[in-house]
Structure 1
Amino acid sequence: MIVSNRNPEIIALPDGRLRYIDQFLTETDTLSHTLKNSLDWYQGNVHLFGRRYQTPRLQCWYGDKAYTYSQVRLPPTPWPPLLNQLKALIEDASGHSFNSMLGNWYQHGQHNMGMHADNEPELGENPVVAMLTFGTARPLQFRHRNGEDRFTITPTDGSLLIMEGPTQHYWRHGINKSKKVTGQRISLTFRQIL
């Protein structure tokens, strides 16, 4: 695994801030293969609008503390060595500490992520989420809660996107379904649970 020494692109949003490093990691094919075959992927459930749904993607969770979102509680889970390595690299690049990681594996274009914000109380006042992407690039949509401002970024294979400041309070983000996408994408989202 080779880490890029590129400086991040700063993306100033109204009421938010992103930092993006294209090709943060190179030689990602082996990493992606290892992540697919060594992490404990499962298809979970979420509670939305009073009903329980199967998540339209595979997930995995590793962390020092429990995490609850959409009425789903994820218990503490020990870190595999590879995730510990990746966490250390991301902490060094971002200047933030992380104690948990939620992974999402989009196996095809029908796998998606609804619009949401990572703003649960246990993530603190201004949650920082660092997202490492492997595989097929898919547009990540951002929508401001004011109903007007929108932004789209398409994280590429090996890229690092850091969402920080008040971003999670004012913006929601998600990945739409696509009939054109046939490739797979893995995103590892690192966060700090208080």
Structure 2
Amino acid sequence: MNKISDNLSMDLFEESDQSLKNWLHRDGTVNYYGVVFSPRTANACYQQLLNNTLWRNDESAMYGKHIMTKRKVAWYGSQPFRYTYSNASKIALPWTPLLCKLKEKVELVTGESYNSCLLNLYHDGTEGVGWHSDNEKDLKPHGAIASLTFGAERKFSFKHKESKETINLLLQHGSILVMKDEIQHYWLHKLPATTQIHSPRINLTFRTIIQTK
């Protein structure tokens, strides 16, 4: 862990220009920072996350049926936050040392703060996620969600709910993408399945949970 922490500290990231491109033409913001970790550090983080994360198959409840996905997930946070989506709830585990370091890096790069992280493990390209918005009541309205990718490069797609316009990006190993502002109200996003990818991808989405009484 210390070796990875040292590498994270040594990785350099030039502060982005204030005119960082918004990939959406309207109704929200998507900023893609590209690769922000050296290949050596990204590889080390990938291996540690793959082997040491408390992965479990994701669950959902649809039309009265309990569904278990092949994709695996893990939910961590600054407090034991409850997060509910797809009619299933999770309680956040405490941050690991590596996740704390990655959160600090993501906050430095994006200029935003986060108190939780949902991790997804896709074993190969046949595992993906369909069109959806991250607009659950547990999340900060219009808050930033930072997506950190390790492993296989995958296409990530956006579709406007009204115009049906679509935008595609390729998320690289060791890269960061941020969704924020009104995007979850006006846009859907998905990770398309493909038979062309045969290696795993780990995706960390740093979020902000709001406390409700």
TM-score band (shorter)?
A: over 0.9
Question: More deviation in 184-193 or 38-47?
Answer: 38-47
Q: Is 1:170 aligned to 2:178, yes or no?
A: no
**Residue in 2 aligned with 1:144?**
160
One-letter code of the match for 2:137?
Answer: P
Distance in 2 (CA, whole Å) between partners of 1:6 and 1:164 is: 19
Give the Cα separation in 2 of the matches to 1:112 and 1:172.
Answer: 14
Query: Identity rate of aligned residues, in percent?
Result: 32
CA shift at 1:177, angstroms? 1.4
The equivalent residue for 1:61 is: 75
Counterpart in the other structure of 2:13: 4
- Looking at structure 2, the residues matched to 149 and 50 of structure 1 have their Cα atoms a distance apart, in angstroms, of 33
The aligned length equals 194
Instruction: Structure 2: state its 5+ residue gaps.
Output: 1-7
- Partner SS for 1:55: strand
Name the residue aligned to 2:120: 104
- Are positions 1:25 and 2:37 aligned together? yes
1:126 to 1:3, Cα distance in 2 relative to 1, 3 A: same
What are the superposed Cα offsets for residues 82-134 of structure 1, whole Å, 9 maximum, x if unpaired? 00011111112212111110001111111111211110112122131100001
Whole-angstrom distance in 1 between the partners of 2:187 and 2:46 = 29
Q: Is the Cα contact below 8 Å between 2:13 and 2:109 reproduced in 1? A: no
Q: TM-score, normalised on structure 2?
A: 0.86
Alpha-carbon distance change, 82 to 91 in structure 1, aligned in 2, over 3 angstroms: same
Q: Deviations over 1:120-155 (max 9, x none)?
A: 112122131100001111111111111521111111
- State the shift of 1:71 in Å: 1.3
Give the 3-state SS of the residue equivalent to 1:168 in structure 2: helix
After TM superposition, the structure 1 = structure 2 runs for residues 1-194 of structure 1, keeping only pairs within 5 Å, are 1=8, 2-5=11-14, 7=16, 8-26=20-38, 27=40, 28-63=42-77, 64=79, 65-194=81-210
Q: SS at the partner of 1:18?
A: strand
Question: How many Å separate the matches in 2 of 1:113 and 1:168?
Answer: 16
Letter of the 1:180 counterpart: Q
Task: Tell me if the contact between 1:56 and 1:112 (Cα under 8 Å) persists in the aligned partners.
Answer: no
Question: 2:174 is paired with a residue of what secondary structure?
Answer: coil
Report deviation, 1:5: 1.9
How many Å separate the matches in 2 of 1:35 and 1:192?
Answer: 21
**Cα separation, partners in 2 of 1:113 and 1:3, compared to 1, 3 Å:** farther
* RMSD (Å), alpha carbons: 1.5
**How many Å separate the matches in 2 of 1:36 and 1:68?**
24
Letter in 1 for 2:28: G
Unaligned runs of 5+ in 1: none
Q: Say whether the 8 Å CA contact 1:115–1:172 is kept in structure 2.
A: yes
Structure 2 CA distance for aligned equivalents of residues 93 and 20 of structure 1: 11
TM-score (norm 1): 0.94
